[in-house]
Amino acid sequence: MSQISIKGVKKSYLKTPVIHGVDVEIEAGEFVVILGPSGCGKSTLLRMIAGLEDITAGEIAIGGKVVNQLEPRERGCAMVFQNYALYPHMTVRQNIGYSLKVAKVPRVERDARVMKVAQSVSLETFLDRRPGELSGGQRQRVAMARAMVREPKVFLFDEPFSNLDAKLRVAMRAEVRRLHRDLGVTSVFVTHDQTEAMTLADKLIIMNAGNVEQIGKPTEVYNNPASRFVADFIGSPAMNLFEGEFDADGHFVHGQGGKMNVSQLNGVRQPGKKVVLGVRPESVRRTHAETHGAIAAVVDYVEELGASRLIHADANGSRIVALDTDTAEIKSGTRVHLSLEADALHLFSVENGRRIAH
């Protein structure tokens, strides 16, 4: 039995639908990340699990019990908020211990539990400070300790690190991973940062405009994006996507008559059918003119990344980006030849954006 079961959940504000029907099963102990662009409904979905938002239609069950009508306090979830949401007038100790105080846990036990949790996030020396006297990273740790102290069935995180600087974010990410490993509590984590999502998730839920686009392991989502949206959204630099069609010889025609030899896609080459062809920059190699199926392109500009670089080039009117590890210098305007790695091509329908199996 899964820990959280979301069935046909919809949400409308007044008459505006913002979530159009989500079905997700989350297993006990799993770390699930909901990823999607701003405004796609991630927070709304999370808040419906938490009980902070009414569920317009569908059903959410936690631990086998339908919680649609339950108050947040009856659902056994703890939440970490984006802006920490610490009580400004309470000390760190009181902040962490507030849920226990409300639950009438005796003082001695409360203090012991607060201490234990504070130690696990290295806050024991800050217990008597107020949130205003802490740095952003410390506040975030207080927020996490506050969630942990209740020993909830489920942790919910709503973009908890988006106010932290890049370095701290990486450190907090590692901390969350460690805590999850130690405590094994089912966690749902909302973010729009894909690196965060990829590194944290056991299971990734990609959302777009109120719909779930794909659910899967991070590698699965990366290697087999289920839709054009996911292909475009996941991966940095973004996947090259070409709109075009197959000609009678089985070549893929794109841009202003550019042709690609894509014999890999043997099974699905219907002449005249409009499709979107996708290939990740790291699967685009520089090669020689003689190579079979090489695409001629003119270098637009080069982005140095240190160990590698991104070549932005124009191939018959289509923009193509290649990740290049060669050290030889290339100037813009140079003519290069690129080849697409076999097995690295993705095909999507133009009409609905879904993946076309091949």
Partner 1 sequence: MIERSPVFDFLTYLAMAIGAFLVVIPFWITLVAGSQSLQEVSQVPISLMPSSHLWENLSAAWARADLGPKMLNSLIVAVGVTVGKITLASLSAFAIVFFNFRGRMISFWLIFITLMLPLEVRIVPTYAIAANALLPFQVILDTLGISWLVNAVSGIQVTLNWNLLNSYTGLILPLVATATGTFLYRQFFMTIPDELVEASKMDGARPIEFFFDVLLPLSRTNMLALATIMFVSSWNQYLWPLLITTDRANFGTVVMQLKALIPAQNGTPDWNVTMAGALIIMLPPLLVVAFMQRWFVRGLISRDK
Rule CB under 6 A: which residues touch ligand ATP?
A: 13, 18, 36, 38-44, 192
Task: Kindly tell me which residue out of 23, 29, 57, 103 binds partner 1, with binding defined by CB under 8 A.
Answer: 103
73 binds, among partner 1, Mg ion, ligand ATP, none (CB under 5 to 8 A by kind): partner 1
Which of these segments, 66-74, 113-121, 231-239, 311-319, binds partner 1 (CB under 8 A)?
Answer: 66-74
* Partner from ligand ATP, Mg ion, partner 1, none contacting 323, C-beta within 5 to 8 A by type: none
Give the amino acid at 298: V
Window of 12-20, 87-95, 169-177, 333-341 that interacts with partner 1 by CB under 8 A: 87-95
Residue 207 or 295: which CB sits closer to ligand ATP?
Answer: 207
83 binds partner 1 (CB under 8 A): yes
When binding is defined by CB under 8 A, the residue of 42, 139, 146, 228 that contacts partner 1 is: 146
Q: Which of 3, 5, 43, 186 forms a contact with Mg ion (CB under 5 A)?
A: 43
Give the other-Cβ count within 10 Å of 109's Cβ.
10
Q: Is the dihedral of CA 14, 16, 19, 21 positive or negative?
A: positive
Q: How many CB atoms lie within 10 A of CB 185?
A: 20
The vertex-96 CA angle with 196 and 63, nearest 5°, equals 65
The token pair at 145 is 């300790």
CB of 181 to partner 1, least distance (A): 24
Residues in contact with Mg ion, total (CB under 5 A)?
1
The answer to whether the beta carbons of residues 288 and 295 sit under 8 Å apart is: no
If you write DSSP's letter for every residue of 232-283 in order, what string do you get?
Answer: HHSSSSPPEEEEEEE-TTSEEEETTTEEEE-GGGGGG--BT-EEEEEE-GGG
Task: Give the tokens for residue 46.
Answer: 């999370």
| Partner touching 18 among Mg ion, ligand ATP, partner 1, none, CB below 5 to 8 Å by kind | ligand ATP
CB 4 within 8 A of CB 154: yes
d(C-alpha 116, C-alpha 149), whole Å: 9
| Nearest distance from C-beta of residue 54 to partner 1, angstroms | 11
Please give the residue ranges that form the binding site for partner 1 (CB under 8 A).
50-52, 71-73, 77-79, 81-83, 85-89, 98-99, 101-103, 132, 146-147, 150
